[in-house]
Amino acid sequence: MSATPSPAEAALAPPVPAVAPGRGSRNDGRVGRAEGDPLLDALMRLAARHFGVAAACLLPGATVDGRERLGAGVDATLCEALQELKRINDRHSSEGSGAPLVVNDLGSDPAWQACLSRVSALPYRFVAAWPLTGPNGDALGSLCLLDPAPRELTAAQRASLDDFASMIAALTTPSDKTRETSQTETDLHAELASLRERERLLALAIAGSGTGIWDRNVVTGEIRYSKGWKAMLGYAEDEITSRIEDSYLRLHPEDLAYVQATMQAHFEGKTDQYEVEHRIRCKDGSYKWICSRGKVTARDADGRALRMVGTSTDVTSMREMAERLRESVNLITNLTNEVPGLVFQCRREPDGHTSFPYASAGIREIYELTPEQVASDAAGIDALIHPDDIDAWRASLAESAATLAPWHLEYRVRLPQQGLRWRQGDARPQRRDDGSTVWHGFITDVTERKRIEAELQEFATTDGLTRLANRRHFMSRLDAQLVLLRRTGSPQCALMMCDLDHFKSINDRFGHAVGDEALRHFADVLRNHLHGGDVAGRIGGEEFAILLSGADLDGACIVARRIQDCIAQAPLRAQEGAVALTVSIGVTPLRVDDASAEITLSRSDVALYRAKKGGRNRIECV
């Protein structure tokens, strides 16, 4: 594996001389360019930091004015070893002499086994030698990068080597081009200043972001931390050791195994990078949540991790914010789940597709479904709506979506376990940018309320003893029928007034309880003779009225005789024995010129009076 260390990462490395010192070098170990050139030494240090290697030096090249160039600081042993490697590379390279030399691992690359005995003095495993070319194409030498660990150069790093080589070559331009050299050195100084400024800004950005950098030698167990890393936990420069074992002691005990397992997985190549969130003990004893990310930057020939570089960021505030948010979400969820009913979010796409992205636990009671069953499609709910109410359900949602008016609907559902139930829905819509409509609202069970309303309606319209329509409700129905008759001239309708004969004597002889049974018995007889649209009601005492829809006078008389026959053939069976009943009936048709229901009722009452006066158990028409 390869990585390009940033200047901030390279800053973790211990200071390394730009060239390797040695003994027995020619000219007292110094040849070529002026000894101790500050600018050249600065370039070497910058190159070492930029590429994250242990050392950078210059390899001697062409002879100019009788002197070897660019041998500054290269001792004889190191120089000879590097030159041997360069000569072998030139012989085998398709580019010929002056080709770049890159050896990722001297110890494992078979191509270099033959020369290992001649370069045994070289204490490095990674070598890169980049040619330096003068303005006239003459070979000035090579810029060398050295590191004791194997590594690879990326395309970006190779391009950077070209840039460094160009700058160094410009510094060594022959003396007959002094003015050009002076300008080049000026440009080089500016470039170096720019590089240093970018490095300074990068370091400031890293420090300002609350991020620390660490560099771990996997083989020795040494781990070095940046100043910002130590300050992040409240430690001074000299209060943190470089032992990996000490770093484990700062980890929260509950996080130690997780961190070690995650790092080991990355060492073994099971993950592309190392990333964990864990707690580290600060100097004051408190713990901070830290997000650590890293990557192995060097491996040996067998793939074992050698070096790992990474960053640590304080994420304590984000973790605390996330925890508060999670607690808020849990609170809202718990509240909505405890509310009797369904708290929901309903989404309707422009094409009409409907779903419930959020549904509280109340959906199990309201629809006998789970939130997951409606999260992406509301078809399961549609299937439960009563067939008589499904059109109203769909129309109400469509209207609310079109007008953005609040949605309100009372409707019935048929559930597998609960059976027929009433539901009431209320929600407010919002239009989204994609054209969809989203409702947030509440659906509750109103079955009991609807039952009570039905009972109240029945109490308001029904006679409590006979369960027939009471006088007020019957008169309203009669009045409505008259309005329809005046407007359309049809249908024909007739009104019958019925009175149980000798009812007072029944109460006197058998008691009021039997009298009440007689009234209920007669009401049942009337119900059995009603058809669709007919209405029977108790007008008062033992008087009853029947509105026969679609019947003329002759038809009404036929119904009246059937009632008399039925009551005669089915006497009341009381505890005291059979109670014979007879009924007198007055019949009249509804007329267009009847000004009110009271007029029609009075006319039928006249007919009833005639029937009673004529001997009872009779039918009279008016």
Q: Over the Cα atoms of the chain, what is R_g?
A: 52
H helix intervals, 462-575 = 471-488, 503-510, 512-528, 553-569
**542 carries an active-site annotation:** yes
Using CB atoms within 10 A of its CB, is residue 344 exposed (0-12), middle (13-18) or buried (19+)? Answer: buried
pLDDT score for 590: 92
The class level of CATH for 348-450 reads alpha beta
Residue 29 pLDDT > 60? no
193: helix, coil or strand?
A: helix
H helix intervals, 111-251 = 155-171, 178-208, 227-232, 244-250
The reply to whether domains 7-204 and 462-621 share a CATH topology is no
- Give the whole-angstrom CA distance, residue 559 versus residue 174: 135
Residue range 7-204 in CATH 3.30.450.40:
yes
Among candidate residues 139, 197, 146, the one with its CA nearest the CA of residue 168: 139
Average pLDDT over residues 146-155: 87
Residue 23 pLDDT > 80? no
Among candidate residues 300, 33, 26, 258, the one with its CA nearest the CA of residue 141: 33
Render pLDDT for 539-563 as a digit per residue (tens, 0 to 9): 989 999 999 988 889 999 999 999 9
Q: What are the tokens at 367? A: 């629809």
In the chain, what percentage of residues exceed pLDDT 70?
Answer: 82
Among candidate residues 189, 168, 247, 206, the one with its CA nearest the CA of residue 10: 206
Average pLDDT over residues 352-379: 93
Beta bridge partners of 56: 145
pTM above 0.95, yes or no: no
Angle between helices 597-613 and 471-488 (to 10 degrees): 110
Catalytic one of 191, 542, 543, 620: 542
Phi, psi (degrees; rounded to nearest 5) at 475: -65, -35
Among candidate residues 442, 425, 446, the one with its CA nearest the CA of residue 360: 442
- Give the whole-angstrom CA distance, residue 496 versus residue 603: 10
- Which position has the token pair 């309203």? 476
Sequence spans of domains, the chain: 7-204, 211-319, 348-450, 462-621
The class level of CATH for 211-319 reads alpha beta
Q: Is residue 498 within 8 Å of residue 519, measured between CB atoms?
A: no
Render pLDDT for 232-260 as a digit per residue (tens, 0 to 9): 899 998 899 999 999 999 999 999 999 99
The DSSP string of 339-351 is SSSEEEEEEE-TT
Q: Is residue 441 within 8 Å of residue 346, measured between CB atoms?
A: yes
- Give the whole-angstrom CA distance, residue 105 versus residue 559: 115
199: helix, coil or strand?
A: helix
pLDDT score for 538: 94
Most confident of 116-125, 430-439, 485-494: 430-439
Render pLDDT for 63-110 as a digit per residue (tens, 0 to 9): 444 444 444 445 666 777 777 777 777 766 666 566 788 888 877 766
- Give the whole-angstrom CA distance, residue 356 versus residue 431: 16
Q: Which CATH number applies to 462-621?
A: 3.30.70.270
221: helix, coil or strand?
A: coil
Residue 3 pLDDT > 60? no
Residue 577 pLDDT > 60? yes
Using CB atoms within 10 A of its CB, is residue 282 exposed (0-12), middle (13-18) or buried (19+)? Answer: middle
Beta bridge partners of 274: 294
Q: Which of 33-37, 92-96, 245-249, 306-310 has the lowest mean pLDDT?
A: 33-37
Residue 281 pLDDT > 90? yes
Q: What are the tokens at 536? A: 């029977």
